[in-house]
Amino acid sequence: MLKAVCSGNIEELETCLAEGWDINSTCDYDERFNAASLAAHLDKLEVLHYLDLRGADLSSGAGKVGNTPLMTGMLNWNVRIIDYLTERGVDPMVKDKYGFTALRKA
């Protein structure tokens, strides 16, 4: 799954989901990102949109820190991602494991 998100390979994402991968679970070796958070971090809007269409929870954080897609998008100032997520109605007040919101991290 990590490779599919990083490369933006939608077909490989479809294969992973068909094999039963949990769309909201962590997908990297350090357990810092779920697929949506990683796509937002890497500015992969097409992947993020695909994950949204497949039912990913765009307001939830995952991993050790609990960064949401909005948090990872804001950390890198990915304006396309931030716009997409706000248009989709994600909650900017969700807190990470340290009590910070996306607005506070910005």
Residue 95 has pLDDT above 90, yes or no: yes
Query: Which domain range does residue 32 map to?
Result: 2-105
Cβ–Cβ < 8 Å for 22, 57: no
How would you class 8 by CB atoms within 10 Å of its CB: exposed for 0-12, middle for 13-18, buried for 19 or more?
middle
How far is the CA of 29 from the CAs of 4, 43, 95, in angstroms? 14, 20, 23
Please state the domain count of the chain. Answer: 1
User: What's the mean per-residue pLDDT of the chain?
Assistant: 91
Q: How confident is the model at residue 103 (pLDDT cuts 50, 70, 90)?
A: confident
What pLDDT, on the 0 to 100 scale, is given for residue 73?
Answer: 92
Chain segment 4-47, per-residue pLDDT in tens: 898 999 999 999 999 999 999 888 888 888 999 999 999 999 99
CA distance 45 to 53: 12
Residue 17 belongs to domain with CATH number: 1.25.40.20
Chain segment 41-83, per-residue pLDDT in tens: 999 999 999 999 999 999 988 888 999 999 999 988 999 999 9
